[in-house]
């Protein structure tokens, strides 16, 4: 072999041997580890990657990236094939949300209601039966006020009210899917009375039985509106149950012709009080009216209800009307009157449409008819006004749906 051929042969052998060495090093097959730091590190990584992962499977709801999430029940963390060891939830600005892991350590939920239009981040850690950890993270944004609706209801939870008090719900958005919303509202009574709901508008729904509530019964309102679409892209956020008690049965009858009011309990007259109703020029509405508010003293300005003089000022402005109880949204009250002559009560109708009872300035004399009626009345009591010569009050003017017969009332249901 010539020198040139020998050199080419050695070069080829060296290249082949070099290739073998490279392949050997890549598989970690060297015998001497003393100079193989990279080999030891790679072996450790390989072993770690080969270990079996945790079997714990964490689920966070709502799913990562969700928008328009519920402020009630959407946030939750659950785990299968393991137990939760830590869950944290906070707003994007770092405000932490309190919550609690269940006794069996398989679920977690926030302690209270979330805020609307808020982004939350959830971080969860769990371990399986062998103690191996699993991790999960998610973020979501709750429904905005613009994309949600709430219903303001009366009466309040835990109150005691008169037999005429309906459940009245006023929504802060127009409801076009009335049937879906009504399905989410349930009103029941311990008396077993049938209850029907009536839509007065796209934003108001009242519920009542055919006749007044039975005295002593308990009425329960359940709102299951969370996630209910009230209008396109507008969802409910309420989920709660409230109840109120019906007090004694008190119905008072105002007769504008005799100018007397009979106060009855369970159908029996307990007191007769002289009154002064609306004058012939300003007659009082007729019909069944429910006391919706009580004020020991209040201001009454004629300008607020359309009674103005030539200068646009109110025909009256009394800043301390005693023992006033509202009967309509439009301004009908039954109240004490200290400015009128005592002789008008029982003898003349002189008011601008309210029902007046003799009283004293300051609302501090317990012996006046106005004080007696105030102290013996509650929100929800019924005042029936008769023989005024005026029209019957509109059912939606105050809490006065009793002025609609049962067939008409039920016809206003969306179901």
Q: pLDDT tens across 274-332, in order? A: 999 999 999 999 999 999 999 999 988 755 555 555 565 556 578 899 999 999 999 99
Q: What angle do CA 264, 266, 272 make, to 5 degrees?
A: 10
Do 129 and 82 contact (CB within 8 A), yes or no? yes
Q: How far apart are CA 227 and CA 237, in angstroms?
A: 6
Tell me the mean pLDDT in the region 95-111.
Answer: 96
Q: Note whether residue 5 is domain-resident.
A: no
Same domain? For 77 and 156 the reply is no
* Cis peptide bond N-terminal to 217, omega within 30: no
Mark whether 273 and 174 lie in a shared domain.
no
Per DSSP, the chain holds a count of helices (H) and strands (E) of 5, 28
Show which of 247, 276, 310 is a domain's final residue: 247
Domain-located, residue 367: yes
Looking at the structure, tell me whether residues 384 and 347 fall in a common domain.
yes
The residue segments making up the domain with residue 175 are 147-247
Of the three residues 98, 122, 143, the one that is the final residue of a domain is 143
27 found inside a domain: no
- Is the pLDDT score of 5 beyond 60? no
Domain assignment present for residue 17? The answer is no
pTM: 0.78
Torsion of CA 405, 406, 411, 415, to 10 degrees: 150
Q: Residue 44 falls within a domain, yes or no?
A: no
- Closest by CA to 398, choosing from 332, 312, 317, is 332
Structural domain tally of the chain?
3
To the nearest whole number, what is the mean pLDDT of the chain? Answer: 88
The span from the CA of 332 to the CA of 355, in Å, is 8
- Does residue 168 share a domain with residue 139? no
Q: Among the three residues 123, 143, 163, which one is the final residue of a domain in this structure?
A: 143
Classify 49 as helix, strand or coil: helix
């Amino acid at each position: 072999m010539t020198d040139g051929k020998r050199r080419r042969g050695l070069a080829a052998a060296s290249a082949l041997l070099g290739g073998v060495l490279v392949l050997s090093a890549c598989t970690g097959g060297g015998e001497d580890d003393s100079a193989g730091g990279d080999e030891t590190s790679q072996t450790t990584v390989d072993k770690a990657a080969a270990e079996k992962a945790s079997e714990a499977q964490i689920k966070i709801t709502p799913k990562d990236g969700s928008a328009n999430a519920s402020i009630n029940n959407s946030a939750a963390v659950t785990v299968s094939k393991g137990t939760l060891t830590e869950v944290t939830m906070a707003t994007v600005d770092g405000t932490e949300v309190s919550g609690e892991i269940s006794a069996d350590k398989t679920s977690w939920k926030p302690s209270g209601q979330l805020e609307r239009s808020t982004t939350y981040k959830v971080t969860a850690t769990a371990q399986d039966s062998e103690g191996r950890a699993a991790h999960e993270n998610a973020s979501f944004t709750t429904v905005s006020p613009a994309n949600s609706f709430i219903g303001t209801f009366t009466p309040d939870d835990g109150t005691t009210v008169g037999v005429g008090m309906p459940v009245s719900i006023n929504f802060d958005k127009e409801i076009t899917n009335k049937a879906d919303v009504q399905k989410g509202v349930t009103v029941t009574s311990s008396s077993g009375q049938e209850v029907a709901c009536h839509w007065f508008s796209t934003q108001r729904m009242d519920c009542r039985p055919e006749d007044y509530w039975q005295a002593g019964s308990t009425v329960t309102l359940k709102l299951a509106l969370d996630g209910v679409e009230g209008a396109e892209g507008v969802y409910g956020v309420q989920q709660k149950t409230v109840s109120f008690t019906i007090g004694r049965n008190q119905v008072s009858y105002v007769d504008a012709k005799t100018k007397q009011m009979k106060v009855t309990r369970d159908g029996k007259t307990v007191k007769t009080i002289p009154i002064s109703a609306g004058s012939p020029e300003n007659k009082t509405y007729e019909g069944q009216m429910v006391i919706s508010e009580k004020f020991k003293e209040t201001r009454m300005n004629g300008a607020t209800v359309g009674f103005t003089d030539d200068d646009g000022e109110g025909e009256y402005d009394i800043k301390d009307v005693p023992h006033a109880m509202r009967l309509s949204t439009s301004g009908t009250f039954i109240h004490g009157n200290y400015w009128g002559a005592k002789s008008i009560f029982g003898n003349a109708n002189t008011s601008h449409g309210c029902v007046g009872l003799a009283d004293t300035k300051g609302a501090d004399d317990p012996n006046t008819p106005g004080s007696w009626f105030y102290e013996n009345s509650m929100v929800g009591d019924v005042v029936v006004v008769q023989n005024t010569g005026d029209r019957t009050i509109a059912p939606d003017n105050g809490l006065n749906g009793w002025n609609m017969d049962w067939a008409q009332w039920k016809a206003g249901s969306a179901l």
